[in-house]
Chain A
Amino acid sequence: MAPPKLRLATCSLAGCFGCHMSFLDMDEKLFELVERVEFDRSPFTDIKHCGPCDVGLVEGGVCNAENVHVLQEFRRNCRVLVAVGACAITGGIPALRNNVDLWDCFQEVYHYGVGVERGQIPNDPELPLPFDKVHPIYEVVRIDYFLPGCPPPAEAFFRLLSDLAAGRRPELPAGAIRYD
């Protein structure tokens, strides 16, 4: 009997889904991968909440309360949690707003932005409430591995998951560690 498949969840917090696109870039190797991996919560499956998983891949940093809830759900359910890409690891592009005061952000977006008329700041509970600053995810929950890159190349995803599926400690070849 084949070994049980690795159960995998993925999500994007304050990210651009570029890491997910890079994941799909593994092209024909996806066929090889689905032999070893099955998906739980992920944009690929549209499952809304995560069940117990072996591995969670988190793209993007933490910019609002909802991000924390999702991240904590992942931490609660995933045996191994991986920070994927520059934004998850450092805050990345979204963290550029860390130099702007949150009041100024709201004013610009809802009051004084080009084309805004009779603007008002929304208070709907359905809208995730933003933090003062954007944070890397390791500042909120314990992270087991970091997959660097913007985005990490498809090969890096493949190596990471194959190693974890085989019960090995993940090691990336030098060529798969890229920072841009």
Chain B
Amino acid sequence: MAQQDNSPPDCDLAAIVARHGGDSHNLVQILRCVQERCGTLPARAIDELARRLGLPRVRVEAAASFYHFFHAESHGAYEVLFCDNIIDEFHGRAELMQYFCERLWLEVGKVSEDGLVYVNTTSDIGLADQAPAALINGYLVPSLDKARIDLIAEMVRQRRPLAQWPSLLFDVADNVRQPGPLLADGYTPGEALHAALALGPEGVLEELARADLRGRGGAGFRTALKWSSCRRAPGGAHYVVCNADEGEPGTFKDRVLLQRHADLVFDGMTLCAHVIGARQGFLYLRGEYRHLLEHLEAVLARRRAQGLLGRGIMGRAGFDFDIAIHLGAGAYICGEESALIESLEGKPGKPRNRPPYPNTEGYRGQPTVVNNVETFACAARIALLGGEWFVGLGTGQSTGTKLLSVSGDCKRPGIYEYPFGVPVRQVLHDCGAADAQAVQVGGPSGTLVSWREFDRRIAFEDVPGAGAFMVFSRERDMFEVARNFSHFFARESCGFCTPCRVGTSLLRQTMDKLAAGKGSAYDMDIMKQLMHILKTMSHCGLGHTAANPIVEAMADFPEAFERRLKALDFEPAFDLDGALQTARLITGRDDAWAHIVAAAECDDRGACALPPSSDSP
């Protein structure tokens, strides 16, 4: 069943393209469907898609090669991707993956000889509270241990279809540890929408402004401003987009919100549509959350039946709005709103120049509101309970509550809802992290809070972020944390601009050089310079923040770096003499000129004595 690639008829391209209206804007969704159906995106399928969609071949190829989850070669019947976020790493990812490989005689990054199974790593998959975890054929498998790996290996060996695997393997826990007003139970679908219709668009905007709601994706832009400027912006159509591309390592609150409170989120989107005059909305769901798709589609279908979506919502003539789900395909950068819109339009997710911002020129060049899942949920609560209620929670600059995704070295990882302004120390106490030395708040692009600063507060005016809260105990090596993040950014850079594409790779290389014990103080300076270049020259936020975790770790935990330095000044990046070994074997040479003297004999700038026969060549 693995070898059916290069046979487009099996992939049923005509039907898939027809199902997506033959519209090239749906290219990413079409590619997803093709791959889900036939396992790969073979060259002939790309050809045929280009022809059917009337696109240049390179346009199709560009999208097909951009996303991590698309591939031209077969990955066999089972694709097993282990999450390599630092939390998973500290919980034994490497060992488990090796164990799995040994069980099935696999090599990482290669399809097994019988074409059955493929193993590799992937960036964070939104399960940091249930690490180590993996993605098998696109579905989340949490809380891996040897027993579960044994079970998975057995299923693979028996060639059982995924549908027949024990469902306990795929049981993702919500782990809501501390609910607050946002996560409160007992919400009736349409409640907030009903309240919003009573308030009217201006009334909703007033309540949002009174609440001083700020975006929950991390940047904290004021929601009332965004919505009102989008409402005013001229355009043939307006769009509502919910950003559920929750890719920041350590974050998983949107997964839980969509699992448990989808109606709240959809109500928020629908009342936004009411405010800005949109008829179409999109939920951009990250590919890693594929398992939520059927649930969410069912909620949408029920809402249509209840008159909460579709034509004449809640009996209002002219209030027409519907929501489509767009499934991502593995690209952290698509969490950036303009990259997300590019992806929605069927293109590689590369950030656009801003301005113009999406609220005036977004999806298909039309005014578009893009907000985080949690923001829409907050907006729904505010419509229902009023801005006055909301502003009573939190701090001066940060009103309301915030969902924190707590993971790492603590007894009770999961979702915690706090009013903004909660001290880091309080969260650590509540989640049972007695021995923390640092917390990475807001993921790799966020802030490293060391034990000296545990009185800092989670709020836009102090430590902002989308709510990732990764705890590291005193046993953890903070250098490895920074190195893991450098690999993350190098993998996830979209490659559009040189400072980021090259800069993130250089950072990764330099961190690896230090890890190999070949570092020098010079390398530390180079990384600081790179940070400056990335910060000032990159095209988007990914590059701007990519060096932060390294530089912050260097400042807070210098000893973790210094004990890896071999020289104070300069150290070559590779073993000079060792790199000649292959050629020595090939030629059979062992003369003085076939060697390079050890670095110990070199001066402090890396200049070394010549071999004895220095005149010869």
A residues bordering B, Cβ < 8 Å? 65-66, 68-69, 72-73, 75-76, 102-103, 106, 121-123, 125-126, 128-133, 135, 138-142
A76 CA to B522 CA in the complex, in Å?
Answer: 17
Q: How many A-B residue pairs have CB under 8 A?
A: 87
A166 CB, nearest partner CB in chain B, Å: 24
Please count how many residues in chain B sit with their CB below 8 Å of the partner chain's CB atoms.
Answer: 34
| Residues of chain B having any CB pair with chain A under 8 Å | 522, 569-570, 572-574, 576, 579-580, 582-584, 586-589, 591-596, 602-603, 605-608, 610-611, 613-614, 616-617
Nearest residue (CB) in B for A126 is B617
Q: Residues of B contacting A121 with CB < 8 Å?
A: 586-587
Contact B589 A123 (CB under 8 A): yes
Which one, B582, B607, B611, contacts A73 given CB within 8 A? B607
Q: List chain B residues, Cβ under 8 A from A69.
A: 596, 610-611, 614
Residues of A contacting B573 in the complex (Cβ-Cβ under 8 angstroms): 135, 138-140
Contact in complex: A72, B602 (CB < 8 Å): yes
Contacts of A139 in B (CB 8 A): 572-574
Of all A-B residue pairs in the complex, the 5 with the closest CB atoms, nearest first, are A76-B607, A139-B573, A141-B606, A75-B607, A142-B570
Give every chain B residue within 8 A of A140 (Cβ-Cβ).
572-573, 576, 606
A129–B614 Cα gap in the complex (Å)?
Answer: 15
Contacts of A75 in B (CB 8 A): 605-607
Q: Which listed residue (B576, B582, B587) contacts A122, Cβ 8 A?
A: B587
- Complex partner residue of A126 from B580, B605, B607, B616, CB under 8 angstroms: B616
In the bound assembly, the distance between CA atoms of A73 and B583 in angstroms comes to: 23
Residues from chain B with a CB closer than 8 A to the CB of A102 are: 582-583, 586
A123 to B610, CA, bound (A): 20
Tell me which of A103, A129, A138, A141 contacts B593 (CB under 8 A). Answer: A129
Q: Is B576 in contact with A68, judged by CB distance below 8 angstroms?
A: yes
Q: Evaluate contact between A129 and B594: CB separation under 8 angstroms.
A: yes
Question: Shortest Cβ distance from A102 into chain B, in angstroms?
Answer: 5
Across the interface, B580 reaches (CB within 8 A) one of A122, A125, A129, A135, namely A129
A103 contacts which of B582, B595, B603, B614 (Cβ < 8 Å)? B582
Question: Is A129 a contact of B605 with CB atoms below 8 Å?
Answer: no
> B614: which A residues are within 8 A, CB to CB?
69
Q: How many angstroms from the CA of A141 to the CA of B569 in the assembled complex?
A: 10
Q: With contacts A72-B608, A131-B580, A140-B606 known, what are 20 further pairs, Cβ within 8 A?
A: A66-B617, A72-B602, A73-B607, A75-B606, A76-B603, A102-B586, A103-B586, A125-B613, A128-B617, A129-B583, A129-B584, A129-B594, A130-B580, A131-B579, A132-B582, A132-B583, A135-B573, A135-B574, A141-B606, A142-B522
Interchain CA distance A69-B289 in the complex, whole Å: 55
- The one of A72, A125, A129, A133 in contact with B616, judged by C-beta atoms closer than 8 angstroms, is A125
Chain B nearest CB, measured from A8 CB (Å): 18
Cα(A102)–Cα(B586), bound, Å: 9
Judge whether A131 and B583 touch: CB under 8 Å: yes
Q: Contacts of A142 on B, CB cut-off 8 Å?
A: 522, 569-570, 605-606
A141-B571 Cα distance, complex, nearest whole Å: 8
User: A76 contacts which chain B residues (CB < 8 A)?
Assistant: 603, 605, 607
CA distance A142 to B522 in the complex (A): 8
- Assembly CA distance A141 to B605 (angstroms): 7
CB of B65, distance to nearest CB on chain A (Å): 18
- Are B593 and A65 within 8 A (Cβ)? yes
Most chain A CB within a 10 A radius of its CB, from B579, B592, B610: B579
A90 CB to nearest chain B CB (Å): 9
Max count, chain B CB within 10 A of own CB: residue among A75, A129, A131, A133: A129
Residues of B within 8 A of A106 (CB): 586-587
* Interchain CB contact under 8 A, A73 and B617: no
The answer to whether B596 touches A65, judged by C-beta atoms less than 8 angstroms apart, is: yes
Return chain A residues, CB-CB under 8 Å to B593.
65-66, 125-126, 128-129
**Can you show 26 pairs from A to B with CB atoms below 8 A apart?**
A65-B596, A66-B593, A73-B607, A75-B607, A76-B605, A76-B607, A102-B586, A103-B582, A106-B586, A121-B586, A121-B587, A122-B587, A123-B587, A123-B588, A123-B589, A125-B616, A126-B593, A126-B617, A128-B593, A129-B583, A132-B582, A135-B574, A141-B570, A141-B572, A142-B569, A142-B570
Which residues of chain A come closer than 8 Å to B611, judged between CB atoms? 69
Which among B603, B608, B616 has the greatest number of chain A C-beta atoms within 10 A? B608
